[in-house]
Amino acid sequence: MKTVKVGINGYGVIGKRVADAVRLQPDMELVGVADIATDWRIKSVADSMTLFASTEEARKAMIAEGLQPEGTLDNLIERSDIIVDSTPKHVAAGNMTRYRAAGIKSIFQGGESHEMTGHSFVAQANYESALARDTTRVVSCNTTSIVRVLGALDSAGLLLRARGVLIRRATDPWESHLGGIMNTMVPEPTIPSHQGPDAQTILPGLDLVTIAAKGAHTQTHSHYWTLQLTRSTTRDEVLDALRAAPRIAFIRMSDGLVALNSTIELMRDLGRPRGDMWEVAVWEDLVTVLGDEAFLTYQVYNEAIVVPETIDAIRALTNLAPDAATSMRITDETLGMRKDFLRN
């Protein structure tokens, strides 16, 4: 089997999860990870991963901390067929020319602009258009979830217009000092928020407006949708369309999954690595259809949901799999993705 050599630049929330996922793939090899951190985040994996420093300065700092980087980002690039760049916003843009100059492929995260790569990616929606491209952008967690769920209803010919409210987690759970908000909510300073146009980079025909705000919690976003359907329909038809779509899993209030944190605990109980949930969790019993409108709520595990998309994007750019179905099947099996967490 052909094997692609994958390097990861930026070992943060997304980078570390992509690294783990790459190692699960039969057709990929993890060359190593590059970062500028020298603390516990890197020390904890120093024995299990090949380490590179994103900069020469970082290389010296790593050595001063007793770490043994194999080299710098240049060396990682040399050894890799493709780089997944999960460095912070704005840093990534500067790296692009380096990847291009080295003649290797590259994948960026949703914090970058669509224009930077000229292509945005969600596996189920446009895998084939990324085949053999040099670069793509895996869209953000929020946008990925929107494309999965609304895309499913759109593909089923059901969706006319979508109006959503997105309540985002304020910051990631490990962050002590950055981005925390306390005992408040922070609305985005403009309506519409940027997620609508971002989803339209994948599904240009979608009539979509979003309002966003940050909530005072650290794990998972939740989205609340009002959907104008193309016609009056039944709740079952909406559920069937969602059930048929990939990477959506139903949860239910009636199973006691009544809040964001109960789903999070379920992931821990299921033995998921880091407690990750790659699926969009749609509350089945909250899906409501009134005439030609549908209403629904789902939960987005922002730390992990783009990981399978990134794996598929690697396959698309490197021609490892000819179509979305083939790639997604491998990805989903290796990760252990499910359609329902409590039923078979």
Q: List the structure tokens of 75.
A: 């060396």
Number of residues binding to a copy of itself, judged by CB under 8 A: 74
Amino acid at 337: M
Strand partners, 289: 294
d(CA 252, CA 187): 28
For a copy of itself, the binding residues in 174-203 under the rule CB under 8 A are 174-177, 179-187, 189-192
Which is nearer to a copy of itself, 102 or 160 (by Cβ)?
160
For a copy of itself, the binding residues in 290-309 under the rule CB under 8 A are 290, 293, 295-297
The least CB distance from residue 252 to a copy of itself, in Å, is: 8
**Which residues does 161 contact at the CB level (< 8 Å), separation at least 6?**
207, 208, 227, 228
- The answer to whether the beta carbons of residues 255 and 333 sit under 8 Å apart is no
- Quick check: 3 binds a copy of itself (CB under 8 A)? no
- Quick check: 270 binds a copy of itself (CB under 8 A)? yes
Q: List the structure tokens of 85.
A: 């760049």
The least CB distance from residue 118 to a copy of itself, in Å, is: 28
- Quick check: 265 binds a copy of itself (CB under 8 A)? yes
Q: Find how far residue 146's CA is from the centre of its chain.
A: 11
Which is nearer to a copy of itself, 148 or 169 (by Cβ)?
169
- Quick check: 288 binds a copy of itself (CB under 8 A)? yes
Please pick, from the candidates 61, 160, 239, 342, the single residue that binds a copy of itself as defined by CB under 8 A: 342
- Quick check: 29 binds a copy of itself (CB under 8 A)? no
d(CA 214, CA 219): 11
Which is nearer to a copy of itself, 89 or 268 (by Cβ)?
268
Determine how many CB atoms are found less than 10 A away from the CB of residue 91: 16
- Quick check: 269 binds a copy of itself (CB under 8 A)? yes
Of the residues 33, 130, 141, 260, which is catalytic? 141
For a copy of itself, the binding residues in 98-127 under the rule CB under 8 A are none
Please pick, from the candidates 261, 319, 322, 323, the single residue that binds a copy of itself as defined by CB under 8 A: 261
Please pick, from the candidates 85, 275, 284, 304, the single residue that binds a copy of itself as defined by CB under 8 A: 275
d(CA 281, CA 263): 9
Q: Where are the beta strands (DSSP E) in 216-327?
A: 221-229, 248-251, 280-283, 288-290, 293-300
Q: Are strands 248-251 and 280-283 parallel, antiparallel or unpaired?
A: parallel
- The answer to whether the beta carbons of residues 3 and 28 sit under 8 Å apart is yes
Of 23-31, 96-104, 129-137, 258-266: span binding a copy of itself (CB under 8 A): 258-266
The least CB distance from residue 339 to a copy of itself, in Å, is: 15
Q: What is the DSSP letter of 64?
A: H
Please pick, from the candidates 6, 266, 300, 313, the single residue that binds a copy of itself as defined by CB under 8 A: 266
The least CB distance from residue 265 to a copy of itself, in Å, is: 3
Secondary element (H or E) of residue 212 = strand 208-215
- Quick check: 132 binds a copy of itself (CB under 8 A)? no
Of 90-98, 119-127, 237-245, 266-274: span binding a copy of itself (CB under 8 A): 266-274
Per the annotation, the verdict on 193 as an active-site residue is no
- Quick check: 337 binds a copy of itself (CB under 8 A)? no
| 5 closest CA partner among 55, 77, 93 | 77
| 215 closest CA partner among 302, 307, 87 | 302
Sheet holding 82-85, edge to edge: 51-53, 28-35, 4-9, 82-85, 105-108, 135-138, 120-121
Secondary element (H or E) of residue 200 = helix 195-200
The least CB distance from residue 77 to a copy of itself, in Å, is: 25
For a copy of itself, the binding residues in 206-225 under the rule CB under 8 A are 209, 211, 213, 215-219, 222, 224
The least CB distance from residue 120 to a copy of itself, in Å, is: 23
Which is nearer to a copy of itself, 16 or 315 (by Cβ)?
16
Strand partners, 120: 137
Residues with catalytic annotation? 141
